[in-house]
Structure 1
Amino acid sequence: MADGDNRRLAVLIDADNAQPAIVEGLLAEIAKYGTAHVKRIYGDWTLPNLGGWKDTLLRYSIQPIQQFRYTKGKNATDGAMMIDAMDLLYTGNYEGFCIVSSDSDFTRLASRLRESGTVVYGFGEKKTPEPFVAACDKFVFTELLREDDDGEPPQRKSAKELKRDTKLVHLLRLAVDAEADDGGWAGLGAVGSTIAKRAPEFDSRNYGYAKLSGLVKAIQLFDVDERLIGEGPHKALYIRDKKAVGT
């Protein structure tokens, strides 16, 4: 399987549960995880509510897939996406799937894809039901990706506000404890990987910090140590829970 930027990805977008304003940020985000070899968006393009997508699809070479609504109240788009996802999976050409929707109907699809050894990245609004979020390896809230006036980044939270977030504090401390050496120090990269496994929706940007390192420093619950890697100029960040060492 390919790693990192070499991962071949299939991007499947539910037009009924996504907005054109996220696309630029979405594709930039996806580029962090691999290369989008397939970009498809599903919906009933005969309906006027999807008309705003036209220019965006042309600009970013996203293939629209027509799916008529044969029965009122039934979402045929979901079924078409699921069938295509499984067809793409069986080709064996893709190491990862990006499912763009806030619909819980894709929970089982995400689980099934992961069972087959592929990585699943989910993208949806903060209203996305927790089961779908938890079924993905990584989940990014699309509010962070919008390019219009509604897409302003979250306000940076202060140390006091961060410490009040008991779920965040618990998550960080558990991850540090899981990766700590005998002296209590844990590499930030390893900590980040552990957090991602336990909380797919975690993203330091939701707290107003571009990187995990900024969030960890801001919360003021951890000692921070920058260490040189070998004899080169590169440094690695290590952190230690102040509570664990009584500082």
Structure 2
Amino acid sequence: MDATLRMALLIDADNAPAAKIDVILAELARHGVANVRRAYGNWKSAHLQKWEQMLHPHAIQPVQQFAYSTGKNASDMAIVVDAMDLLHSGRFDAFAIVSSDADFTPLVMRLRSQNMRVFGFGAKQTPPPFVNACSTFLYLDELGDSGNGNALAPASKAKPKTSAELRQDTALVNLLRGAVDSADGDEGWAHLGPVGHYIANRASFDPRNYGYPNLSSLIEAIGLFEVRRDNKLVYVRNKPKPQPAQKTARKRASAEPTPTSSKPAQ
């Protein structure tokens, strides 16, 4: 994990819950330092009162953005303009966008085209284009609230999905199988490091969105892979597919000795 990234945190305060700010900052602290922290919205609105209470304790700069027309979130354009200015300053390695608005998808794609890591944070209903555009996306619904006295508490508080629920997620199954197949070696074993790297290049994946703290625990829970540990190294491979019951029964029958008749010869 790279803990030296220089990051800019841009918050769409009109479209994000203030109660999640501690865990958002704790997550970013695992990767580097968010030297720029800005929250955008109409600070004259009572709707942002909870965000106002979070500004000074977390060194977040409020950016005033009046609503120029009814029903439009004027903060979107202000965030895009500032993001471009910050990008061209050359002072950052990564951006964090806190919003559930799919309108930020082109911005994220532009940032990533400049080799920027983009961490996304949003609600469960965040549209897939925005989620998939990010390098990593965490659902705020799955993160613990602020105010528990421990900002570095485990991020996932959701009940882990069962093996059956995980297997029903076709996209997840295909992603994990493809990652293991891409990195397998002798006897089909794949080191977990390259598996995780493959996944990071293919999707904005995070096992905590499924209720698991890391990739290895998720892979074990889904029950489709064999897991082998060698000291601190973890290896995985696809479980062999079970043979059809009828075919197995025929094999078992053919392997049994043929009974001989005990009737005396005439």
Tell me the TM-score normalized by structure 1.
0.89
The reply to whether residue 209 of structure 1 matches residue 215 of structure 2 is no
CA gap 1:142/1:226 in 2 versus in 1, 3 angstroms = same
Q: Distance in 1 between matches of 2:27 and 2:176?
A: 23
Match of 2:131?
A: 133
Q: Distance in 2 between matches of 1:88 and 1:162?
A: 39
Gaps of 5+ in 1: 229-234
Please state how far the C-alpha of 1:75 moved relative to its aligned partner. Answer: 2.1
Q: Secondary structure at the match of 1:36?
A: strand
2:198 pairs with 194, 200, 203, which one?
194
Q: Secondary structure at the match of 2:100?
A: coil
The one-character-per-residue Cα deviations of 1:152-209 (angstroms, maximum 9, x if unpaired) are: 8222223233223332222211110011113211111221221222221x22222222
Which letter maps to 1:75? N
Q: Secondary structure at the match of 2:186?
A: coil
The one-character-per-residue Cα deviations of 1:24-44 (angstroms, maximum 9, x if unpaired) are: 010011112221010000001
Deviates more, 1:82-91 or 1:25-34: 25-34
2:236 pairs with 234, 239, 242, which one?
239
Q: Secondary structure at the match of 1:243?
A: coil
Gaps of 5+ in 2: 148-154, 244-266
Q: Secondary structure at the match of 2:145?
A: coil
CA RMSD of aligned residues (A): 2.0
Moved over 4 A (4+): none
Q: Is the 8 A contact 2:156 2:208 kept in 1?
A: no
CA gap 1:48/1:139 in 2 versus in 1, 3 angstroms = same
Q: Is the 8 A contact 2:143 2:156 kept in 1?
A: no
The reply to whether residue 163 of structure 1 matches residue 160 of structure 2 is no
Which letter maps to 1:34? G
Provide the aligned length of Structure 1 versus Structure 2: 236
Q: Is the 8 A contact 2:22 2:146 kept in 1?
A: no
CA gap 1:178/1:52 in 2 versus in 1, 3 angstroms = same
Q: Distance in 1 between matches of 2:169 and 2:129?
A: 22
Match of 1:232?
A: none
Which letter maps to 1:166? T
Q: Is the 8 A contact 2:7 2:96 kept in 1?
A: yes
Q: Secondary structure at the match of 2:68?
A: coil
Q: Distance in 2 between matches of 1:152 and 1:213?
A: 15
Q: Is the 8 A contact 2:9 2:96 kept in 1?
A: yes
Match of 1:218?
A: 221
Q: Secondary structure at the match of 1:170?
A: helix
The one-character-per-residue Cα deviations of 1:79-119 (angstroms, maximum 9, x if unpaired) are: 11111000001110001110111111111111111112211
Larger Rg: 2
Q: Distance in 2 between matches of 1:176 and 1:211?
A: 16
Please state how far the C-alpha of 1:245 moved relative to its aligned partner. Answer: 10
Please state how far the C-alpha of 1:133 moved relative to its aligned partner. Answer: 1.3
Within a 5 Å distance, the mapping from 1:1-247 to structure 2 comes to: 4-147=2-145, 153-200=157-204, 202-228=205-231, 235-243=232-240
Q: Distance in 1 between matches of 2:35 and 2:57?
A: 16
Which letter maps to 1:117? N
Q: Secondary structure at the match of 1:4?
A: coil
